[in-house]
Amino acid sequence: MNDLSLLRHLIQNHPLIDHHAHNLLNPESATDYDNYPLEAIATSADGRALENARTTLPSLRAASQFSELYGRPCADWNDVQSAHDESVREDYSNLIQKSLSGTHALLLDDYLSDDEDIESSSWHDSFTASPTKRIVQIEAMAESTILQVSNSRKNGESVWNNFRQRFQDALATAMEDANIVGFVSEICCRTGLDVDPYSSDDTTLGGSLIRILDSGTTKSGFAVDDKEICDWIVQQTLKAISFKKRAGIVKPLLFHTGLGDNRINLLRANPACLQPLIAQYPVADIVLLNAGYPYTREAGYLAATYPNVYLDLGKVFPMVSREAQMKVLRESLELAPTSRLLWSTGGRFHPETFWLANRQFRQALETVSCKPTFDIRSLS
């Protein structure tokens, strides 16, 4: 067996740690296509835009590749839905087992859906070699805290002081929880990645909190979408991470960057916007999710020049075309040290999302790495 054959075997068979994904649906919700459309496996589009997604290159390719998973021809998404229906009905566990084959461990961000529709994080343990761990979304934690503040609100009480203490307590508890291995922020699709490294004063933050409280109810919930509060939540998390790292507890903060749905402002989704924040918190480990796509080179630059930054290669598999995926890998390798590259599927809801992402990632990595003329030194 020559060197390339050994490398091909390693790429196709080495177990993967999926460091950012989401919980799978329970069998009762796995065919609820109104709330969890199958087409979302290969696109970030939703609503009316999702109707057009079936004609994109990633979606056409995905439908064809599912023939391998299901063991039956899939010419289009109608065929995929039919095969999915049958798999869920006859042996959902087997579909999950096949989809997670080659996955050593899952790190799950479990705030994406209603708890009644998804399986618990620990439930996934039976499908992987190592126990599943949790990643806590800090904006969701803040929204839960605001709901507590609203329910216990008293006349004359400072809601800001109440919220600040409760959030910091929740953060401290999560830092000590061994089952929680990191935190994730979706500030990218809320107020943007241009996070102020320095906190606003209490008067400004209190006003920001009041606006959030006034825009929601205890029944509908509260959306953390005011910039001052969003920035403060990120700052507090990075402070806690930095403090605990000095004590030997290492937990990163993951940022959604680039690729996303229509909530994001593309100009403020560029990971380069995070540079002042990264410089302000040099001890805290930071992970840039989604390869920063389409700003992969900017993300690679940050991973190359800041020792606390890692670049994740997820979500572009399977959200962009085959050529774009290989371009992402090449651009990542242009600058980022290989020791700073991480893998995640960004898988969510349907087992097929995990299978497809892993399959396409291994294919692209083999293509880029095993070309007869490829030498990693040639990228210099």
DSSP state of 279: H
pLDDT tens figures, 28-62: 999 999 999 999 999 988 888 888 888 999 999 99
Pick 331 or 2 by higher pLDDT. 331
Sign of CA dihedral 134, 135, 137, 143: positive
Q: What was the pLDDT predicted at 125? A: 95
Q: What was the pLDDT predicted at 164? A: 95
Q: What was the pLDDT predicted at 270? A: 97
Rounded to an integer, what distance in angstroms lies between the CA atom of residue 330 and that of residue 323? 11
Rounded to an integer, what distance in angstroms lies between the CA atom of residue 159 and that of residue 208? 11
Between the alpha carbon of residue 78 and those of residues 58, 82, 118, 295, 321, the distances in Å are 16, 6, 24, 34, 21
List the beta bridge partners of residue 215: none
Rounded to an integer, what distance in angstroms lies between the CA atom of residue 7 and that of residue 29? 40
Give the H or E element holding residue 181. strand 180-185
Q: If you search the block for the tokens 């969003």, which residue do you land on? A: 230
Is the separation of the CB atoms in 24 and 124 below 8 Å?
yes
Asked if residue 163 belongs to a domain, the reply is: no
For the cut 60, the answer to whether the pLDDT of residue 374 exceeds it is no
Mean pLDDT, residues 18-31 taken together:
96
Asked if residue 38 belongs to a domain, the reply is: yes
Averaged pLDDT score across all residues of the chain: 92
Q: If you search the block for the tokens 């993300």, which residue do you land on? A: 299
- Which range is least confidently modeled, 137-146, 186-195, 261-270? 261-270
Q: What is the CATH number of the domain that holds 182?
A: 3.20.20.140
For the cut 70, the answer to whether the pLDDT of residue 245 exceeds it is yes
Asked if residue 211 belongs to a domain, the reply is: no
Mean pLDDT, residues 245-266 taken together:
91
pLDDT tens figures, 286-320: 999 999 999 999 999 999 999 999 999 999 999 99
Asked if residue 18 belongs to a domain, the reply is: yes
Mean pLDDT, residues 88-97 taken together:
96
**Half-sphere exposure (CA, 13 Å, Cβ side) for 131?**
7
* DSSP letters spanning 10-47: HHHHS-EEEEEE-PBBPTTTTT-TTTS-GGGGG-S--G
Cα angle value 191/194/195 (rounded, 5°) = 85
Sign of CA dihedral 70, 72, 77, 80: negative
Name the domain count of the chain.
1
Q: What was the pLDDT predicted at 111? A: 73
Name residues whose C-beta falls within 8 Å of residue 203's C-beta, 6 or more positions apart in sequence: none
The rounded percent of the chain whose pLDDT value lies above 70 is 96
Q: What was the pLDDT predicted at 4? A: 85
DSSP state of 136: E
Q: What was the pLDDT predicted at 199? A: 87
The rounded percent of the chain whose pLDDT value lies above 90 is 80
Rounded to an integer, what distance in angstroms lies between the CA atom of residue 190 and that of residue 268? 10
Q: How many residues does the chain have?
A: 380
pLDDT tens figures, 112-159: 555 789 999 999 999 999 999 999 999 999 999 999 988 877 765 788
Q: What is the dihedral of CA 101, 103, 105, 110, to 10 degrees?
A: -80
Asked if residue 337 belongs to a domain, the reply is: yes
Between the alpha carbon of residue 161 and those of residues 55, 158, 172, 174, the distances in Å are 51, 5, 16, 20
Rounded to an integer, what distance in angstroms lies between the CA atom of residue 290 and that of residue 288? 7
Asked if residue 228 belongs to a domain, the reply is: no
Asked if residue 259 belongs to a domain, the reply is: yes
Confidence grade of residue 217 (pLDDT, cut at 50, 70, 90): confident
* DSSP letters spanning 330-351: HHHHHHS-GGGEE------BSH
Asked if residue 321 belongs to a domain, the reply is: yes
Quote the distance between the C-alpha of residue 183 and its chain's center.
10
pTM of the model: 0.92
- For residue 13, give its domain range: 3-137+176-192+246-266+276-379
As given in the structure block, the two tokens for residue 73 are: 């021809």
As given in the structure block, the two tokens for residue 93 are: 């566990």
* Residue 312 φ/ψ, nearest 5 degrees: -90, 140
